Chains A and B, each alone.
Chain A
Amino acid sequence: GENVEQHPSTLSVQEGDSAVIKCTYSDSASNYFPWYKQELGKRPQLIIDIRSNVGEKKDQRIAVTLNKTAKHFSLHITETQPEDSAVYFCAASINNNDMRFGAGTRLTVKP
């Protein structure tokens, strides 16, 4: 089955800096890659997703890149703000089914 690795496990940045989180996946058939933000005690919330027919997608301060050949994808957050502090999970699936998550990255943005 699919295996998703995520790095780093913790990331601390200064407000205004950029943050990058990287994930790799094992199943070349995976075609849907969402990123979720989870605040303490809350549900995971989708912040951006990318499909295998696209190499990059951007939504304001958030961007995701996908390298199908290398089987890795990354989340980029620019101009970080304290409210970006949370745990971020990457995930991979085939058609959004049997979705496998990475171990999570705890992002702390220091004011």
Chain B
Amino acid sequence: EPEVTQTPSHQVTQMGQEVILRCVPISNHLYFYWYRQILGQKVEFLVSFYNNEISEKSEIFDDQFSVERPDGSNFTLKIRSTKLEDSAMYFCASSGQVGSEQYFGPGTRLTVT
């Protein structure tokens, strides 16, 4: 069964550095999402992406964040000038059609020191 994959599984970075989190959505999916989950808290929507552009973003997704689909398979989340409070699990998800089930990746645990 096809799955969403994410790399790395764990990223440690120093405050102020830039990180890029990578996701490979399910191959025939068209809708892509990033979520964040601070340890012990709820899952928070960051951004959705369709047809090479952002379709929705939350109040969390400010100028510090950007997303890109650099080729036909990868979907990336870039976080510039990381802060301690950016430490969280970041999940990528994809879906095949509007309104259909979202499949989550295993997550990247980001630790900012």
Contact = CB atoms under 8 A, between A and B. Distances in A.
Contacts of A99: 33, 45, 102
Interface in B74-109: 91, 95, 98-107
User: Interface residue tally of chain A, by bracket?
Assistant: 20 to 34
Nearest to B50: A97
A98 B44 contact: no
Contact of A89 (B43, B99, B101, B105): B43
Contacts, number: 56
Contact of A98 (B48, B95, B107): B48
A44 B95 contact: no
A101 B43 contact: yes
B106 A96 contact: no
B55 interface: yes
Contact of A46 (B48, B59, B102, B105): B102
Interface string A25-45: 000000110101000001111
Interface of B: 31, 33, 41-45, 48, 55-56, 58-59, 91, 95, 98-107
Interface of A: 1, 31-32, 34, 36, 42-46, 49, 51, 89, 91, 95-104
